[in-house]
Every structure is written in C-alpha cells, then in structure tokens.
Amino acid sequence: MPLQQALASPQMRPEGLAGAGRRFVIVLVATVLGLSTVLAAYFYVQQQEYSRFSFQNLVWEGVQLRNEHQAFRAALVEALGDLPGASMQEVVQRYDILYGRLDLLETGHANLTYQSDPRIRELLLHVNTVIRGWDKLVAAYAAGDREAGLRIAEEARAMDPTLSAFTAAINLIGAKRVDDARERMARLYAALIAAVVVICMLVFGFAFALLRQLKMTEKAHLDLRNMTVDLEQARREAEEASRAKSTFLATMSHELRTPLNAILGFADIMRQGLFGPVGSQRYLDYLDGIVKSGQHLLSLINDVLDMSRIEAGRIELRETNLDIGLAIDQALSLVAVTAEGKGVTLQHSVPPGLPQLRADERLLRQILLNLLSNAIKFTPEGGHVEVAAATLTDGGVAIRVRDTGIGMSDAQLRRIFEPFSHGDSLRARETGGSGLGLPITRRLVELHGGQIHISSRKSLGTTATLVFPVARAVTVGAVQ
C-alpha cells in the first residue's frame, strides 16, 4: 500500500479502530443487559401473578363452609331427635362456627375471586342471607322453641343443593385458573427460550466481530511495520539527497565564486586603467556592465548559499549581548553611501535605557542590512528611512525600519516571504534583487525566537518590525 494511501485509510488509524471496537462492545453489553432486565422483569411480574392465586385456598374455603354446614345440620337433627350425647349447646356452638366461616369467606383471600364470578357471587349471597337469617331462630331454639329448630333443619336441608352448586362452581373456576396459569408458564418458557437464542446469537456475533477486529489490528500492525521500514528508507534517502545537495552547493559556490571574483577583479583593473587606458568609451561602458552583473551574480550565489544553509539547519548562533543602538548605527553606516547616492535621508531613534539584545552579531547585522537595503532601494529621491527601537510592555524588544517609499499592494504583501517572489517583477529586475532577502531575514529572526511583521501601503511606504522575546532582552547590568 502506498504510504499516503495507507495513512489516509481509516483502517490504518489506530484511534479509529479502537473507537469502533469500543462502540461495538458498549452496544453489545447494553443490548444483553437490556434484554436480561426485560426478561427478569417479565418473569417477576408473572411469578407475582401466579403466587397471588392459590387453588387450594380457593377450594378449601368453599369446602369448609359446606362441611361446617353439614356439621351444624347433623348436630341440630341429633338434638331434635334427642339422640344420646346431643345437646342444644352443641347446636349453638356449631352455628357460631358456621357463622364465623361466613365472615371468613367474606374477608378471606378467595373472596376477590368469588366476587369476580357472577354465578358464585349470587350463590354466596343466597347462602349468606339464609344462614345469617337463622340467627334469631337459633336463639329461639336455644330458649326452648322446638318449632324454630325444626324450621332451621328444614331450611338447612334445602340449602344442600345450593352449597353443592357453590363448591362445584368454585372447583370450576379453580380448574380454569390452573389452566390459565399453565398456559402462561408455557408462554413464559417460550419467551425464555427465544431470549436465550437471541443472547446466544449476540455472543456469537460478538466473538465473530472480535476475531475480525483482531485480524484487522494484526494487519494494521504489519502495515505500520512495513511503513516504518519504508519511512526509515525514505529518511535515509532524503538525508543522502540533502548531503549531496549541500556538497553540490558548496562545490558549485566555490567553483562559481572563484572565476567570478577573477572576472570582477580583472574588469575592475581594466576599468581603472591600471596597465594603460581602455581605448574606447564603449568598452568602458561594457566593463561597468560586467562589474554590475558580476556583483549581482555574486550576491545571488551568496543568498542561495545562505538559504540552503538555513534550510539544512547548519547555521549556529554565536550569541553575545549586543548594544542595540550600536548595532543600528553600524548597519546605518554601511548603507549611508548608497542612501546618500540615492538622495534618501537616514534617521534613527533609540531611547536610552534600552536592554541589550542576546543575539548573533553578524546575523543581526545581516537582518538589519537586508531591511535597510530594501527600504533604500524602494524609496525614491527625497524620501526618508527611519530605524527605531523600543522596549515592549512584556519586556521584549522591537526594532522597526520604516520608509516613505513606493510601498506594496496587499497581493504583493501576501507573497513577500515566499522565496524568489519579487513583489514588482519589473522593478525587481531594475533593482536587481534575488527575491531571497526577506525569506532569509525571516528565518534568521526566527532562529533568534523572534518574529517579523511587515505592513505597507502602495505609494505611502513600508514598515518592517522585528519583535524579539523577553528571553532575548538583557537588562544592562544584569548578571548573565
């Protein structure tokens, strides 16, 4: 896989891989948890429903009523027939028990079920009315009214079919409830089996996806290893190429500069007529042309060399504490003749008490000379170039070179730090710049941890400001 493609591929990005895997696991765990919770809740509700209903209670309470009624009736018949062992107290006692059983039926567990069935409800109402109606008759019988006893015996006998119907109806409803419960349990088991199947499938899917992820990770590792090898190889080749470029440039510069210096030297000797005058004025003009072109070529070679040295990181700062005012004065003195020749006035303003600048003296001079020569070059006769320095509020130091020259358009300004970009190609040709001055200047400033800002208005002038950080400002008298 080509390097660019491999890096752009989403599979190859480890964070993409981990993110997708993490999301997958979270979704899976949430699904399994959610399913289990729903299932557990469903089971719980069904279980509660089932436990509320007890077939035994339902039937037992109804049967007990019938049994108590039989016992009461038997005690009454025995007492009425004066059988040995029978007594009126026994009859009253049995009636109390039967009465109590009625109360139990009304308040007991099964009552709700009884009331929910219209047939049972009707039978129970009837039984209730009749049995509770015996209250007064039992009291009368106990007081010696045999007629009352006979009436109860008659009514009690007539109650038998009603009570049988009551217990039969209870049995029926009980059986129906048992069937319902069985059906519900069957449904519950079906749901349980379905849930187990789903969870099994999920776990199977999870394992499958995990295996796939594992394979992808292994492949990504392999690709990364290959890529690292490729990168290492590319780095070695780049280093080799850079070394070859530097050697080539160094050799070429030497090879170019030596004959160029000879050309310049001989042309100058001839121009000055050291070994006799040059015959024709035209030859003198040509010699001027040779010297100018040669000087331009020399500065171009020097700029290209500087640039390549900076790019290769081969420039080391020789730092000392510099007096900013002095550095500015020295730079101004170097361009004074040129400025005077062009009719451009040079000014400078350096306030007292300015901190010293920790910088490379030669490089700072080169920075200032680049800015000053541009300012003079692009300022017409009668214009001004001013250099000023100041301490910034954060303790840093700023140096400003301002001219009243031709200035630049916004479009020119945007490309000003691109190597070989001439803002105005016609003028550049006239002025003979390499188009490397500002890119070199910016890199040199950045080597010092500083920044360069350039602002300009067409026909109004240009201001270049160098800003050095507080770490570069050395207060005079401070111990280093």
Instruction: Using CB positions, name the residue nearest to ligand ADP.
Output: 433
Per rule CB under 6 A, is residue 383 in the interface with ligand ADP? Answer: no
Per rule CB under 6 A, is residue 375 in the interface with ligand ADP? Answer: yes
Whole-number minimum distance, CB 336 to ligand ADP, in Å?
A: 17
Per rule CB under 6 A, is residue 406 in the interface with ligand ADP? Answer: yes
Q: Which among 132, 79, 73, 142 has a CA at the least distance from the CA of 101?
A: 132
Q: What is the DSSP letter of 81?
A: T
Choose the stretch contacting ligand ADP; rule: CB under 6 A; options: 198-206, 217-225, 307-315, 373-381. Answer: 373-381
What are the start-end ranges of the E strands in 345-460? 345-349, 356-360, 384-391, 397-403, 451-457
* Paired strand residues for 235: none
CB-nearer residue toward ligand ADP: 162 or 308: 308
Q: Is 256 exposed, middle or buried (0-12, 13-18, 19+ CB in 10 A)?
A: middle
Measure Cα distances from 384 to 17, 304, 377, 380 in Å.
63, 30, 11, 9
> How far separated are the first and last CA of the chain, in Å rounded?
55
Choose the stretch contacting ligand ADP; rule: CB under 6 A; options: 109-117, 230-238, 277-285, 420-428. Answer: 420-428
Q: Which two tokens stand for residue 70?
A: 């039989």
Whole-number minimum distance, CB 418 to ligand ADP, in Å?
A: 9
Whole-number minimum distance, CB 412 to ligand ADP, in Å?
A: 6
CB-nearer residue toward ligand ADP: 93 or 302: 302
Whole-number minimum distance, CB 381 to ligand ADP, in Å?
A: 15
Q: Where are the alpha helices (DSSP H) in 108-145?
A: 111-116, 118-142
Q: What is the DSSP letter of 424?
A: S
Q: Which two tokens stand for residue 273?
A: 């007529």
Compute the distance between CA of residue 432 and CA of residue 293 in angstroms, rounded to an integer.
9
Q: Which listed residue (126, 424, 449, 469) binds ligand ADP by CB under 6 A?
A: 424
One-letter identity of residue 322 = L
Site string for ligand ADP, 426-455 (x = CB under 6 A): --x----xxxxxx-----------------
Per rule CB under 6 A, is residue 374 in the interface with ligand ADP? Answer: yes
In 3-state terms the chain splits into helix, strand, coil percentages (rounded to 5) of 70, 10, 20
CB-nearer residue toward ligand ADP: 39 or 408: 408
Whole-number minimum distance, CB 456 to ligand ADP, in Å?
A: 6
Q: Which listed residue (151, 348, 384, 422) binds ligand ADP by CB under 6 A?
A: 422
Q: How many helices (H) and strands (E) does the chain have?
A: 13, 8
Contacts (CB under 6 A) with ligand ADP, residues 252-271: none
Contacts (CB under 6 A) with ligand ADP, residues 459-478: 462
Q: Residue numbers of the site for ligand ADP (CB under 6 A)?
A: 374-375, 378, 403, 405-408, 416, 422-424, 428, 433-438, 462
